[in-house]
Amino acid sequence: MVANISILIVDDEESVRDSLFNWFIEDGYQVDRAENAKQALSILESKDFDIILADIKMPGMDGLEMHRRIKAFNKNSIVIIMTAFASVSTAVQALKDGAYDYITKPFDPDDLSHLIRNAANQIALVSENESLKRKVVALENVEDLIGRSKPMIKVLKEVERVAQSNSPVIITGESGTGKELIARAVHSNSQRKFFPLVSVHCGALTESLLESELFGHEKGAFTGAMFNRKGRFEMADGGTIFLDEIATISTKMQIELLRVLETKKLVRVGGNKEIESDFRVICATNKDLKKMVNNGTFREDLFYRLNVVNIHIPPLRDRIEDIPLLVDYFITKYCTSMSRGIISIDKAVLHRLETYPFPGNVRELENMIERAIVVGNGKEIRKKDLPFEEDSITNHTESLEDLEKKYILQILSKYDWNISRSAKVLKVDRVTLYNKIKKYDLKRKKK
């Protein structure tokens, strides 16, 4: 990836330009140099750079003015400001104007290397998102699948790939993560999209009712069976059957289901005629089916029959960068359905949402936004419109240190362990943040 990243170094000090040039060349980047802002702008007229590393103080035109001019015609380049300690406040102004970050002279090699690497990762992610967006345009029924985080990009790619086959799919994930949406997206993008998608909530039905729902029944099969009735497997002929909460079905139903999956033939309750149906099966569960197999509560043969492909949806707390997108989407959705003018959300409230653990996942977030729009009466969602403040306080049994540790870890994860950015969000200096990391023995999760 590094070989594809280009860097332009702009500094009037030759020694700085040369040392950075040699440094980045050794690391494999494509590098060019300019001794002032005017020369840099001239180079940029004919060539784009991914990262522009610019000093603030330069003769003729300073780095801030150069940054503003660059952003006027090239919004894609990442600009990092180099500054002396004495002009940090000026560099902060650059951040407000849209610079990616700043670094103080003299450089800490690790800090500079980490900063450039993070910028390169962001460029790669943006590129990947753009590529994904182009692909998503080709996907159907994915308008509710919101996300730009790496875990969600991975899920969307899996949906695209899996949709092209007829293999059984198990969708796993915590309650509220959107398993049914994924099932619909797989069906809508498959060759079966012109046939029905039939959903069955297995956990909501008793064994006898589930059997009748899945296989249908003949007139007189039981009290109340006044007519012949098709089951869901028959209704799904040519299309897809989605079995939600598959882990809740009884041992008897597991045997029946296995037989139907293997033969694609079924017999209605009270009947004796075999009926063929061509369906694809997609299941969903928030349970660990492998663990259930090991403890004998779920049949091993059925598990392997269903678990040809597994799509796992990450919990919302593992993709907090998706929260602003989801909030915007739900605000638009409910303002439109309630015929309200589009409202905004207070930045502090959005920040609170980004640090809330969301045990109920996306469904909980959606309910929060819907409630806020129903009870709020202004043009902005405020703290008082959301219920989490009271709940989070009354439900917490953790110590203050536990909460601080968790909060710091969330922020570090969100900003890919960029110490400078995380410290700014936490409103502490770098030294304090380093001390907290050491105190709580926080470790970066391996990817």
Amino acid at 362: V
Helix/strand/coil (H/E/C) assignment for every residue in 69-134? HHHHHCCCCEEEEEEEHHHHHHHHHHHHCCCCEEEEECCCHHHHHHHHHHHHHHHHHHHHHHHHHH
Give the model's confidence band at 111: pLDDT under 50 very low, under 70 low, under 90 confident, else very high: confident
Q: What is the pLDDT of residue 400?
A: 66
Q: What is the pLDDT of residue 441?
A: 85
Least confident of 258-262, 372-376, 405-409, 427-431: 427-431
Give the model's confidence band at 85: pLDDT under 50 very low, under 70 low, under 90 confident, else very high: low
> For 218-242, what is the mean pLDDT?
88
Q: What is the pLDDT of residue 260?
A: 94
In angstroms, what is the C-alpha Rg of the chain?
28
Integer Cα distance of 292 and 421 in angstroms: 43
Tokens of 411: 């922020």
Tell whether omega for the bond before 168 is within 30 degrees of 0, i.e. cis: no
DSSP 255: H
Q: How far is CA 21 from CA 99, 107, 194, in A?
A: 21, 14, 58
> For 375-396, what is the mean pLDDT?
69
CB of 29 within 8 A of CB of 55?
no
| 235 HSE (CA, 13 A, CB side) | 17
Q: How far is CA 372 from CA 70, 364, 380, 384, 390, in A?
A: 40, 12, 10, 9, 15
Tokens of 313: 């949806």
Residue pLDDT, tens place only, 10-40: 999 998 888 889 888 888 889 999 999 999 9
Give the model's confidence band at 134: pLDDT under 50 very low, under 70 low, under 90 confident, else very high: low
Integer Cα distance of 159 and 184 in angstroms: 10
pTM of the model: 0.58
CB of 316 within 8 A of CB of 177?
yes
Whether 384 shows a pLDDT value over 80: the answer reads yes
Q: What is the pLDDT of residue 86?
A: 57
Least confident of 55-64, 207-216, 305-314, 413-422: 413-422
Longest dimension (CA), the chain: 94
255 Cβ contact list (under 8 Å, min separation 6): 299
Integer Cα distance of 84 and 56 in angstroms: 9
Tokens of 35: 């001794």
Q: At what angle do helices 323-337 and 361-375 cross, to 10 degrees?
A: 50
Percent pLDDT > 70 in the chain is: 89
Tokens of 374: 């129903």
C-alpha distance across the termini of the chain, in Å: 16
Q: What is the mean pLDDT of the chain?
A: 84
Give the model's confidence band at 7: pLDDT under 50 very low, under 70 low, under 90 confident, else very high: very high
Q: What is the pLDDT of residue 397?
A: 55
CB of 330 within 8 A of CB of 367?
no
Residue pLDDT, tens place only, 169-194: 999 999 999 999 999 999 999 999 98
- How many residues are given for the chain? 447
Residue pLDDT, tens place only, 146-155: 888 888 889 9
CB of 44 within 8 A of CB of 70?
yes
Give the model's confidence band at 409: pLDDT under 50 very low, under 70 low, under 90 confident, else very high: confident
What is the H or E stretch that residue 172 is in? strand 169-172
